[in-house]
Structure 1
Amino acid sequence: MGAPIAAARYALYFAPAPETALWRFGSAAIGYDAATGADLPIPAVAGMSPERLLEITAEPRRYGFHATLKPPFRLADSTDVAGFLDAVARFAAERRPFELPDLRVAAIGDFLALMVAGRPQALHDLADACVESFDPWRAAMDAAEAARRGAAGLSERERDHLARWGYPYVFDRFRFHMTLSGRLGDPERSALADALSDRLAAIAAPVPVDAITVFVQPDPAARFRVLARFPFG
């Protein structure tokens, strides 16, 4: 693999291994398997049509099932994909696995996600290290991207993060979440949360954080796909 494709974006995510029940749960919930690139049937939810479920999962389907560690970015012109992947492999080899606290379906604003209780130090240390260690690989944002990411009402601290790191929700503003829906109001949000919680309870098990997964979006119109998964040492 040589020089980066100018339009492509890469991201460092936590994503369960594709053979796990949690990966199957999350991929089915959004109707897309980012490991295979296949569309999936979304399980039925009482009172919501299949068309509505497709509509409210359109945004998470674009990104695949994941939790963000280093938000999407284009590679700097002075770098190449092979070198980037080698760096991720070395970074992962220096990490040690740990387990997530119990996952739960919760609302973040108007959308639903899997979240954890509290602020687990190992999780935040990992996210912080990903943001800082791989920033030299990140191309500067263009004006359109900066405007889009800064369009929401950001605090001064979040604006500082955006200017320095290309994303407002890093370090002290980081919140682990695995998005399961787009924005929606009650009673739909409650109905979907109940259905997802029931499905999650059926597969409840410790969730290891034992790898970093690189996702790639080849061009702005494409969905993100799993490019490579790097186990921890």
Structure 2
Amino acid sequence: MTATAPRYAIYFAPSAESALWRFGSATLGYDAISGKEQAFSVPPGCEALDWAALTAEPRRYGFHATLKAPFELSNGRSEGALRAFARNYVAGRTPPTLEGLAVDALGRFVALTPSQPSDALQNFAFDLVQAFEPFRAALSPADLARRLQSPLTPAHRAYLEAFGYPYVGDAFRFHMTLTGSLPQELVSPVRAALAGAHAQAVPAGPLRLDRIAIFKQADRTSRFTLLDSLPFG
């Protein structure tokens, strides 16, 4: 495993035609389908901020919710096999529906999160993590050390060792990131501004997780781009 090896991730990313995709991509200033930057849609009231800097970290990954965190392929596994497995996976499953999304502050970054908890979502996400586990190479010592810089509970540490990511199973929290880590004094006003922009841009109502997406990062210096968008059923 090297810094030049590609990484893959299994995400929820809404369809390119959806208002949610347009909102998220414009907020981040990056369209992961084309792999190109796009004009920012800066939320009203935030025009004086350095919006490019505030969204730099999530822009690397594209607009998404993580289901299986980025991984390199294990020995003997190919990109083609991963894509074929994913096509078969979506053919036989019914995805959950969320009651809606709300703009929330998670610590010092702002994200879209489910407006109501969902056991179906938690079960769905952990099933997917386990199903795709054979494709994941073990973490490199450098990646493991990076993960261990964050304070982890014993349960988080166990998940990290088992699945290469600490926030799975009962530690999973669905979120679609809209900013990087903000200065504390900006968290509340930016959250409020994004909540208003989201309400204007995206119709309220339930959200069916109708597809999964495979994103690919060519190397550690690259941004993630969409490889496959796979509707369920």
TM-score of the superposition, structure 2-length normalised? 0.93
Which residue does 1:229 correspond to in 2? Answer: 229
Residue 93 of structure 1: how far off its partner (Å): 0.7
Counterpart code for 1:8: P
Which residue does 1:84 correspond to in 2? Answer: 82
Matched, 1:165 2:159: no
Residue 144 of structure 1: how far off its partner (Å): 0.1
Which residue does 2:120 correspond to in 1? Answer: 122
Residues of 2 paired with 1:227 and 1:145: CA distance? 23
Which residue does 2:38 correspond to in 1? Answer: 40
Segments of structure 2 that go 5 or more residues without pairing to the other structure are none
Counterpart code for 1:176: F
Which residue does 1:211 correspond to in 2? Answer: 211
**In 2 relative to 1, CA 6–56 (structure 1 residues): closer, same or farther, beyond 3 Å?**
closer
The answer to whether the 8 Å contact 1:106/1:115 transfers is yes
How many residue pairs get aligned? The number is 228
Residues of 2 paired with 1:98 and 1:47: CA distance? 34
RMSD: 1.6
Q: Which residue of 176, 179, 182 maps to 2:177?
A: 179
**In 2 relative to 1, CA 19–157 (structure 1 residues): closer, same or farther, beyond 3 Å?**
same
Which residue does 1:13 correspond to in 2? Answer: 11
The answer to whether the 8 Å contact 1:28/1:40 transfers is yes
**In 2 relative to 1, CA 47–122 (structure 1 residues): closer, same or farther, beyond 3 Å?**
closer
Residues of 2 paired with 1:207 and 1:102: CA distance? 6
Measured against aligned partners, the alpha-carbon deviations of 1:76-126 in whole angstroms (never above 9, x if no partner) come to 121111111110111111111442222111011100000013431221122
The more displaced of 5-14 and 87-96 is 5-14
User: What percent identity do the matched residue pairs reach?
Assistant: 43
The answer to whether the 8 Å contact 1:112/1:189 transfers is yes
The answer to whether the 8 Å contact 2:98/2:207 transfers is yes
Segments of structure 1 that go 5 or more residues without pairing to the other structure are none
SS in 2 for 1:46: coil
